[in-house]
Chain A
Amino acid sequence: MSRLDRWFEGVARQSARRVSRRSWLSRFGGVLVGGAALPLLPVARAAEKHRVGEDGVKGREGDPTRCEYWRHCAIDGFLCSCCGGSHTACPPGTEMSPVTWIGTCRNPADGKDYIISYNDCCGKTFCGRCICNRNEGERPLYHWYRNNDINWCGGARAQTYSCSTAVLVKAAKEAQPEK
């Protein structure tokens, strides 16, 4: 028997003599529950607030899997970043609609406005995860190309809506609506 096996055997026998099974189970359970509860502590939340994410933005506004992500300011739909894709790419098996609605969002990191294209991913049934409905700068249906209640998958080969992306196009000259 190798030295390592002997050492493990020794440790296992020693702990079996000292620690009861119930005590071990209760401690192990405590570690599991405690570990899961750690992110609920104010310390963990404070740390999240200072974590620098996408585009140099701190906290939830820099996390593309969150509705609070700064580029999602005018989105209405399921986030592709929760559906097997990302905020710039469609999940496998879906196609990015060539027609889309385009708006502006302000990047909190530099305070500038950017043009964001909300291309829908089409071809599979709706994703159903991470619904996000912010609609800042959206216009009523009579301004149809500024409206996000339209099924923008109309321009794709398959018209079934799955989820939405938020692709940064370039810096905007001004925020919507135009002066």
Chain B
Amino acid sequence: MKRLLALTGFLLLARPASAESYEEHDYLLNCAGCHRMDGSGSRAVPSLRGMRELSEMPGARAYWVRVPGAAQAPLTDARLAALMNWLVERFAGQKPSPAYTAEEVNRLRSTPLRDPIARRNEMRRAASHQRWRLHRE
């Protein structure tokens, strides 16, 4: 029995190390073409470094999954959730808390944004209004 428990413990510990991680692979094939390898974007595509500014705003978590590039990526919900966790940590500077799950990603990507730029401007306006109210109080 002891031996069986030890073996189970060993297998549980060994599992994360042997699990394939696809985050960088998925980023290169699904995001880097337009956002570039370092996420800096170009004249035509926004920089992913802007995620840091958005991370403080309410609604950013849902916004990042609902933008067309993420919502329509040919990835399973689980792979997209893992990619989003990797992406947010890399470009917004901190891990999403709680981490995205496949269920949450499935729910969010089912309503992709029709006008991501308008939504981003709306979030910025709301954040600036909130700051103004706090300043007055």
Contact status A173-B45, CB under 8 Å? no
Q: Does B44 contact A (CB under 8 A)?
A: yes
Contact status A176-B45, CB under 8 Å? no
| Main SS at interface, chain A | loop
Q: Does B3 contact A (CB under 8 A)?
A: no
Residues from chain B with a CB closer than 8 A to the CB of A55 are none
Contact status B33-A102, CB under 8 Å? yes
Residues from chain B with a CB closer than 8 A to the CB of A173 are 20, 22, 25
Q: Does A177 contact B (CB under 8 A)?
A: yes
Residues from chain A with a CB closer than 8 A to the CB of B25 are 115, 172-174
From A139, A169, A173, residue with most partner B Cβ within 10 Å: A173
Residues from chain B with a CB closer than 8 A to the CB of A179 are 76
Contact status B29-A176, CB under 8 Å? yes
Contact status A155-B37, CB under 8 Å? no
Q: Which of A99, A102, A146, A174 contacts B42 (CB 8 A)?
A: A99
Question: Contact flags (1/0) for B30-43 with A, using CB distance below 8 Å?
Answer: 10111011000011
A114 to B17, CA, bound (A): 23
Output the least CB separation between A114 and chain B (Å). Answer: 11
Contact status A99-B28, CB under 8 Å? no
Q: Interface size of A by Cβ–Cβ distance < 8 Å?
A: 24
Residues from chain B with a CB closer than 8 A to the CB of A100 are 33
Output the least CB separation between B113 and chain A (Å). Answer: 16
Q: Does B74 contact A (CB under 8 A)?
A: yes
Q: Does B124 contact A (CB under 8 A)?
A: no
Contact status B74-A154, CB under 8 Å? no
A25 to B43, CA, bound (A): 63
Q: Does B95 contact A (CB under 8 A)?
A: no
Question: Do A169 and B28 form a contact, CB below 8 Å, given A155-B42, A178-B74, A178-B75?
Answer: yes
Q: Does B120 contact A (CB under 8 A)?
A: no
Question: Do A115 and B29 form a contact, CB below 8 Å, given A98-B42, A99-B45?
Answer: yes
A143 to B68, CA, bound (A): 11
Residues from chain A with a CB closer than 8 A to the CB of B52 are none
Q: Does A170 contact B (CB under 8 A)?
A: yes
A177 to B32, CA, bound (A): 16
Question: Contact flags (1/0) for B67-105 with A, using CB distance below 8 Å?
Answer: 001000011100100000000000000000000000000
Contact status B45-A155, CB under 8 Å? yes
19 extra interface residue pairs, beta carbon distance < 8 Å, beyond A99-B42, A115-B25, A173-B22: A99-B44, A100-B33, A102-B29, A102-B33, A103-B29, A115-B28, A117-B32, A117-B33, A139-B74, A143-B74, A145-B33, A145-B69, A172-B25, A173-B20, A173-B25, A174-B22, A178-B26, A178-B76, A178-B79
* 7 closest Cβ pairs, A-B complex: A173-B25, A155-B42, A98-B42, A102-B33, A155-B44, A99-B34, A145-B33
> Which positions in A face B, CB cutoff 8 Å?
98-104, 115, 117, 139, 143, 145-146, 154-155, 169-170, 172-174, 176-179
